[in-house]
Amino acid sequence: MKVKKGMRRARGDLFFELVMGSFLLVVALVTLFPILFVVAASLSSPQAVIAGQVWIWPVDPTLKAYENILSNPKLSLGFLNSAIYTILGTITSIALTLMMAYPLSKLRLPGRKLLTWMLVFTMLFSGGLIPTYMVVRQLGLLDTWWAVVLTSALSPWNVFIARTYFRSLPDELYESATIDGSGELGQFFRIAIPLSSPIIAVVGLFSAIAYWNSYFTALIYLSDEALFPLQIVLRDILILGNLDLTRVFDFDAMVRRQGLSDLLKYAVIVVASAPLLVLYPLVQKYFVRGLLIGSIKG
């Protein structure tokens, strides 16, 4: 009897797994298709793309679009700038987040509630666009890398995840360190940091994504074209094809732009998303763990 029951349950599991598996497969295909299409389209001739012959395999393969991007000074400079903002910003962001989250995780920190409340406050209210702009201007940050890096360096959300994570580390560890003669700084660098690679990965990935995709801060704080990140250049190229009809008074520009847009559209998307697509699998194993520990034990 027992065996039969067990087998029936196994069969039920098998059925469930089959259904689940095929459902997830469909979801995966639906998710993958646009990516594959964009990659294939970026490698195909523009004519084939326009004619709708491209499916998930390149038609008349050509690297012309990528050659064009490499030789386009705006795009290559934008790529470089975005890389700088992302690396610099991510390092700054991790450092600031850990430095804020670690003390907040200590229940004996005086004024802990006030600090937490101040953080929450910024999640709900902001100073508004123009006052913030004026602060940035008066700090002399306009038209510098720091305008992009510093204005979004600390995310309260990340601080809270990191704080919860630190709290999950057993107090006994710190106690034993104190007994062995370690001070607060020693505890932070020798115990907390080495144990927090998952949360560093989470905070790092979150901020790297945010910096790589940053558009608005660059839009308002940067006026020097040599500092524009990839997202601004990318957007400029993607909207080329969508002409504002009330403004078609420069016919030559319209003709030229249609061609440029047809040629570059897809390759630019690939170039702009590739770095994050490459980065994600590398940190993914930490990602799930860190996010889980950081969020559940609140």
Chain residues binding other proteins by CB under 8 A are 46-47, 50-52, 72-74, 129-130, 133-134, 137, 219-220, 223-226, 228, 232-233, 235-237, 239-260, 262
Comparison of 255 and 278: residue with beta carbon closer to other proteins: 255
Report the alpha-carbon distance of residue 243 to residue 259 in Å, rounded.
13
Comparison of 128 and 170: residue with beta carbon closer to other proteins: 128
Instruction: Check if the beta carbon of residue 153 is closer than 8 Å to that of residue 143.
Output: no
CB of 96 to other proteins, least distance (A): 26
Comparison of 114 and 255: residue with beta carbon closer to other proteins: 255
**Sign of the four-CA dihedral 179, 182, 184, 188:** negative
CB of 270 to other proteins, least distance (A): 17
87: closest CA among 187, 199, 212? 212
CB of 253 to other proteins, least distance (A): 4
CB of 90 to other proteins, least distance (A): 24
- Residue 174 vs residues 31, 166, 297: alpha-carbon distances, Å: 45, 11, 19
b/e map 256-277, b = 16+ CB within 10 Å: ebeeebbbbbbbbbbbbbebee
Name residues whose C-beta falls within 8 Å of residue 197's C-beta, 6 or more positions apart in sequence.
286
Name residues whose C-beta falls within 8 Å of residue 13's C-beta, 6 or more positions apart in sequence.
none
Comparison of 141 and 262: residue with beta carbon closer to other proteins: 262
Comparison of 40 and 205: residue with beta carbon closer to other proteins: 40
CB of 172 to other proteins, least distance (A): 53
